Structure 1
Amino acid sequence: MPLHDPEPFTAPGRPDASGRTTGVLLCHGFTGSPGSMNPWGRHLAAQGFAVSVPLLPGHGTTWQEMNRTGYDQWYAALDSAYDELRSRTDVVVVGGLSMGGGLSLLLAARHPRDVAGVMVVNAAVSSQNKQLLAVPLLKWVLGSMPGLGGDIKKPGVAESAYDRVPLKALHSMVQGWRQVRAALPEVTQPLLVWRSREDHVVDEQSTRDILAGVSSRDVEEHVLEDSYHVATLDNDAELVFAESVDFVRRVTG
């Protein structure tokens, strides 16, 4: 299957009628790459927004390399990409898929005055999967397990992601979720949440925790009926793209 371009993507954007430039920062998920976000980023760029889709450390190389990285490094890379985008725009909206959604929420909590809105797709901040309880021990016995990437309903579409899950990195992500959940009350920005009705990677507990935890008064939850986990590449992708344009314009207007 053809893979979407896994390289980082940036677009300069153009000023609107008032002379302001709006930026959108998009973050991919665990073991993934910008390939899962670039079609979304290119759609936003076509609307005139400045866009940044960074590659997180340990991703886009090998799962062994990823096992030498962790949640704090992934967040630091996203924060750095935010600083770069903010330096060339007047206002920024952040968004992410899966783990990238959790990282985006953490970024919004830590930049309450500068992030204008948050968009998350099947965001991961918690799980009811009891198998995760064994990861702290398994990571010392097994380097990796079969991958979680490619949960896409649309035929003929593949995600540029590892086919193995690096367990030390997985444990770091699960520990990182605690940071995100603790920071949710600090999220006050408008929030747009997309959740796939059928998701084989992230369960509904994540969305429940997000909606219950944030302090945002402007919150929308949209259920995607025709996509699995990687909805940004799935049947509902165009819907996500269109709704995101409306959201960005509304919260930055």
Structure 2
Amino acid sequence: MTEPLLARGDIGCLLIHGFSGSPAELRPLADALAAQGYTVHVPLLPGHGVTPEELSRIGYGAWIEAVRTAREELEQSCRTVVIVGYSMGGLLGIVEAARRPPAALVLLGVPTFVGGDWRVHLLPMVKYLMRWWYPLEKLDFDDPAARAVVLARDPHFRIDDPHEQARLRRSVRISTAALDQFFRLARRARRMVSAIDVPALIVHGRHDTTAVPACAEEIYSSLTSRSKQLRWFEASGHELVIGPEGREIVEVLVSWIARLVPQPEPVPTG
């Protein structure tokens, strides 16, 4: 797990990254919250940051437990905690918020279901027949949005080199066993949304093909929170904080958290 970026504020923000991702997905938001004096914790989930083989051996219960532990670590020094979850991290945020309410919940591009893809239901069997899925196999490197995402993750990637493109398409692989765990978690979280009544902000990209927009609408309607908001970003897909509208999204999130939770004084640096 990563260490808190700032450990002197008494309000904690627990940021949870997505499936097969890393804390880097949320780094701009973490930095912005830390600059405002919040204690920010961005744990690296079990099976992530290592090899695809390691991820294939992890059950979703380990991710749930990791989030619970990270929250307890924050609560040792913070009087209250806000949970922010991106993609699968949002599913984990839902499960944790239903277990024990946080001060507020932020959900970024959360996929409670996959838009009508019948193959998802075959994963419990497919994982024994096909071990790997290559998500970038058909990536269009001429697509400006795709280029922005790749370069956001690796600014030094030689994106116009055909050999590098081919290498990336084949090197990025995800275990079908891990995908099965992801979808099991999604089904569990989907059943728990209605148990959440804390202030909640849902942020979603209009062009998200990973977490289709209907996911955000379903979460919003299922939440029993008296204070809830669904905010659309018209130029964004699944990548939010590091996407084309990332700067505006970070500003919206920091402002919303500051309104909901009494904002600490920024901690001087240097």
Aligned residue in 2 for 1:65: 54
Which residue among 143, 160, 164 is the counterpart of 2:131? 143
Aligned residue in 1 for 2:113: 126
The structure with the largest strand share of the pair is: 1
Which residue among 233, 240, 243 is the counterpart of 1:231? 240
Distance (Å, rounded) in 2 between the aligned partners of 1:148 and 1:81 = 31
Which residue among 30, 33, 52 is the counterpart of 1:44? 33
Q: For residue 142 of structure 1, give the secondary structure of its aligned residue in structure 2.
A: coil
CA contact (8 A) 1:195 1:207 kept: yes
Larger C-alpha radius of gyration, 1 or 2? 2
CA 37–148 in structure 1, closer or farther in 2 if over 3 Å, else same: farther
How does the TM-score come out when normalised to structure 2?
0.82
Q: For residue 13 of structure 2, give the secondary structure of its aligned residue in structure 1.
A: strand
Q: For residue 232 of structure 1, give the secondary structure of its aligned residue in structure 2.
A: coil
Aligned residue in 2 for 1:173: 182
Distance (Å, rounded) in 2 between the aligned partners of 1:67 and 1:47 = 38
CA contact (8 A) 1:227 1:236 kept: yes
Q: Which runs of 5+ in 2 are unaligned?
A: 140-144, 155-167, 263-270
Distance (Å, rounded) in 2 between the aligned partners of 1:124 and 1:78 = 18
CA 76–156 in structure 1, closer or farther in 2 if over 3 Å, else same: closer
Distance (Å, rounded) in 1 between the aligned partners of 2:131 and 2:8 = 46
CA contact (8 A) 1:148 1:201 kept: no
- Which stretch shows the higher mean deviation, 230-239 or 148-157? 148-157
Aligned residue in 2 for 1:98: 87
Superposed, 1:2-13 pairs within 5 Å as: 8-13=2-7
CA contact (8 A) 1:106 1:183 kept: yes
CA 48–215 in structure 1, closer or farther in 2 if over 3 Å, else same: same
How far off its partner does 1:140 sit? 0.2
Aligned residue in 1 for 2:70: 81
How far off its partner does 1:125 sit? 1.6
Q: For residue 10 of structure 1, give the secondary structure of its aligned residue in structure 2.
A: coil
How far off its partner does 1:148 sit? 6.1
CA contact (8 A) 2:149 2:242 kept: no
How far off its partner does 1:9 sit? 5.0
CA contact (8 A) 1:97 1:230 kept: no
CA 83–131 in structure 1, closer or farther in 2 if over 3 Å, else same: same
Q: For residue 74 of structure 1, give the secondary structure of its aligned residue in structure 2.
A: helix
CA 148–85 in structure 1, closer or farther in 2 if over 3 Å, else same: farther
Q: Which runs of 5+ in 1 are unaligned?
A: 1-6, 16-20
How far off its partner does 1:155 sit? 6.5
How far off its partner does 1:205 sit? 3.0
Q: Matched residue pairs, number?
A: 240
Distance (Å, rounded) in 1 between the aligned partners of 2:24 and 2:129 = 31
How far off its partner does 1:204 sit? 2.1
How far off its partner does 1:133 sit? 2.0
Which residue among 19, 22, 41 is the counterpart of 1:30? 19
| Matched residue type, 2:111 | A
How far off its partner does 1:131 sit? 2.3
Aligned residue in 2 for 1:240: 249
Distance (Å, rounded) in 1 between the aligned partners of 2:194 and 2:150 = 40
Distance (Å, rounded) in 2 between the aligned partners of 1:29 and 1:237 = 16
- Which stretch shows the higher mean deviation, 157-166 or 217-226? 157-166
Q: Does 1:190 align with 2:179?
A: no
- Which stretch shows the higher mean deviation, 52-61 or 147-156? 147-156
How far off its partner does 1:106 sit? 1.3
